[in-house]
Chain A
Amino acid sequence: MSFTVPPQLEAELNELVTHYPQKRSASLMFLHALQEHFGYISKEAIEWTAQKLELQPINIYELVTFYPMFRQEPAGKYVLKVCRTLSCALGGSHKLHEHFCQKLGLDSHGHGLQTTKDGKFSVEFVECLASCGTAPVMMCNEDFYEGVSNAKADEILGGCK
């Protein structure tokens, strides 16, 4: 797959660099923007970022592997993020996660993001989504759901076309 950053995104990123005393400081913002656009951070994206910020690819690769929120593989069309921080863990988030994995045929013990073969769904644990009072809490792409029971979970899955 060829890697081309649309001119508008590149212009935005160029402008972003000017906000920082050193170019390097813009690294994370670049990665967020590229992941938002491409869905994941490819090798090309790492190299492009390094070259834009006058760094070596290893400098960017360190960041990409450090933060779990950066993906090096494309995710499914729908990404289900289940909170596993304390309140949600007590409120049944592990059961919820297991439920999704069973329904979608994924390994609930696999490390990191698990994606279905057809590329439609990805399931992952995330840390606190800041709605601890309504555990268990999850997100489906940008939509937020509270107090998610198994029935509600099936409803959410059903809504994903």
Chain B
Amino acid sequence: MSATPTTETKPAPPAVETIKVKVDGKEIAVPKTMPDPLTGKPVPTTMIQACALATVDVPHYCYHPKLPVVGNCRMCLVEFGTPAMGPDRKPVINPDGTPKIAKSPRPAIACATPISPGMEIYTTTPGVKQMREGVLEFLLINHPLDCPICDQAGECKLQEYSVDYGQATSRFVEEKVHKPKQVDLGPRIVLDDERCILCTRCIRFSKDIAGDDALGIVNRGSYNTLSAYPGKAFDNNYTLNTVDICPVGALTSKDFRFKMRVWFLKETKSVCTSCATGCNIVIGSREEKIYRYEPRENDAVNSCWMCDTGRLNYKWIGSENRLTEVRIGKETTTWTNALKEISGKLANVKAGSVAMVASARQTNEELFLLAKLGKKFNALTDSVPRMQEGDKLLVSADRNPNSNGAKLTGISPAQMGSNLPKIAEGIRNGSIKTLIVFGEDVTKHGIGADLLGKLETLIVSEILPNKTTELAHYILPGCAHAEKRGSFVNGKGRVQRFLKAVEPKGDARPEWEFLHELVYQVTGQNGFASIEGLFNQMAQEVPAFNGVTWAALGDTGVTIQI
């Protein structure tokens, strides 16, 4: 057995020297350097990082841990002191033996000021409070004070800090500067320039992370306006991340804006299924309807980002066309009937006369159960490869979320798709009489309607109707990942679990649930009836998983050797 699973989210950083500082009187040892968010090279630790390590929150707008520091909003101002030095260049000692601290006469921005040994940072002094109030008052001078009609309300840093440091009434009696509203910044983004606080997070993200230097600040002084170059749409595959990091309601997603108040959303930890990267996401849903995906931080996978394609690929889950009925032929039936009839059929098949195509979009647990069935019949099995072009940031060339799961469970041969022609040939020459299809339209992958017509039994589990389901003898309506629990193995061997956000539609059931019953009825092997038990059993039986447990996967997953 090779390497043990690891649970780290970052490669273990080399041990660095620590220095001691005090944050609001509490001493803490912090690394002298931290990795630069872009280059990963060690750079001096800043006050805001030290405060974060001391779990002291410093209000900030422009600072973002994954972006270069610019220090333009001034919200993070703190007071500080450093050990006093005597004329002999030796530390001055207080009568009680402690080093004397020389308080700096001026504050400093915590996001851009490096710490030094013995430094004391004060974040709760009356001075700091006054500075925060002052900065906030200036930020609000030209800001429209209409949170009730702003889409950011409920997740707005301006709102949040105003509760802490704002004034109940505005002292500003002059005319506000008016700026462009409802700017169509790009195909997926609307900008309200009056709400922008000019923190430049979006500019830095686009330039330094997405590699598209598309945004800038035009005009001067109070007229400063965030803008793309006139006539040029802000359109790369990562634009929606700017909506996430915009601390205010300036950048909004065309897809999500004004659809739902954010405080009504239930948040469920999940994983994107649109490629093998498996970006960690939060699904926002309400009353069984999905409203948005947002990236969830995982430094081993997607940092804080996700691509726009993956983010917007959720509407099919709520589609009106969903398969919601169990069917035998064209007749609607119950799960009990269908499973009974299917297991009856399968009990009498000859080994070698069954083939199986299971999508690499199914979960590990489902593929594991399908592999058990396959083994029983000595079935030829495969998945459908989805190779396209990848990009440098996140999007993988492999558009299946679980190709590695399909390979590890033995459903897919090492060369995914190489068994498909053999299955087609088997049906053609009559040696394969039963085909089990999970989550693919095989008519698009070399097993055409003519071949499907020759089968004695075609068992299909699907989510949306297609050519294959039209010809199926049995239809078992399955679930989107958002409607069930399970796990995937991403392209780099990260095993990641996802949780259930919404209820399946109609009679649809998580595939692993009914597969568990089917496997029991066909093979007599009783497995676990819970996803935890099932996963753990799989991790025991499939060597690559090396016994890792469902619980150990946590929110950010575990890397295994693939």
Q: Which residues of A contact B (CB under 8 A)?
A: 43, 55-59, 61-62, 65-68
Find out whether the CB atom of B220 lies under 8 angstroms from the CB atom of A58. no
State the Cβ distance, A152 to closest chain B Cβ, in Å. 33
Find out whether the CB atom of B219 lies under 8 angstroms from the CB atom of A57. no
State the Cβ distance, B239 to closest chain A Cβ, in Å. 15
The residues of A that contact B217 with a CB separation of less than 8 Å are: 62
**For window 197-236 of chain B, which residues contact chain A by CB distance below 8 Å?**
213-220, 227-230, 232
Give the dominant DSSP class at A's interface.
helix
Find out whether the CB atom of B220 lies under 8 angstroms from the CB atom of A66. yes
Find out whether the CB atom of A58 lies under 8 angstroms from the CB atom of B228. yes
* Residue of A58, A59, A67, A68 ringed by the most chain B CB atoms within 10 A: A58
Say which size band chain B's interface belongs to. 10 to 19
Find out whether the CB atom of A58 lies under 8 angstroms from the CB atom of B219. no
Find out whether the CB atom of B219 lies under 8 angstroms from the CB atom of A61. no
A-B contact pairs, 17 of them (CB 8 A): A55-B213, A56-B214, A56-B229, A58-B213, A58-B216, A58-B227, A58-B229, A59-B213, A61-B216, A61-B227, A62-B217, A65-B219, A65-B220, A66-B218, A66-B220, A67-B220, A68-B220
Find out whether the CB atom of A61 lies under 8 angstroms from the CB atom of B220. no
What residue in chain B is nearest A67 (Cβ atoms)? B220
The residues of B that contact A66 with a CB separation of less than 8 Å are: 218-220
What residue in chain A is nearest B212 (Cβ atoms)? A56
State the Cβ distance, A132 to closest chain B Cβ, in Å. 24
* Residue of A57, A67, A68 ringed by the most chain B CB atoms within 10 A: A57
* Residue of A55, A61, A68 ringed by the most chain B CB atoms within 10 A: A61
Find out whether the CB atom of B218 lies under 8 angstroms from the CB atom of A61. yes
State the Cβ distance, B197 to closest chain A Cβ, in Å. 18
State the Cβ distance, B208 to closest chain A Cβ, in Å. 13
Q: Which 5 A-B pairs have the closest CB atoms?
A: A65-B218, A58-B216, A58-B229, A57-B229, A56-B213
Find out whether the CB atom of B216 lies under 8 angstroms from the CB atom of A59. yes
The residues of B that contact A67 with a CB separation of less than 8 Å are: 220
Contact of B214 among A43, A58, A62, A68 (CB under 8 A): A58
What residue in chain B is nearest A61 (Cβ atoms)? B229
State the Cβ distance, A95 to closest chain B Cβ, in Å. 26
Report if A62-B213 is in contact (Cβ < 8 Å); known contacts: A56-B229, A57-B229, A57-B232: no
Bound: A43/B230 CA distance, A? 9
The residues of B that contact A56 with a CB separation of less than 8 Å are: 213-214, 229
The residues of B that contact A55 with a CB separation of less than 8 Å are: 213
What residue in chain A is nearest B231 (Cβ atoms)? A43
**For window 386-437 of chain B, which residues contact chain A by CB distance below 8 Å?**
none
Bound: A67/B213 CA distance, A? 21
Bound: A55/B220 CA distance, A? 21
Bound: A59/B217 CA distance, A? 9
State the Cβ distance, A138 to closest chain B Cβ, in Å. 24
Bound: A61/B218 CA distance, A? 7
The residues of A that contact B219 with a CB separation of less than 8 Å are: 65-66
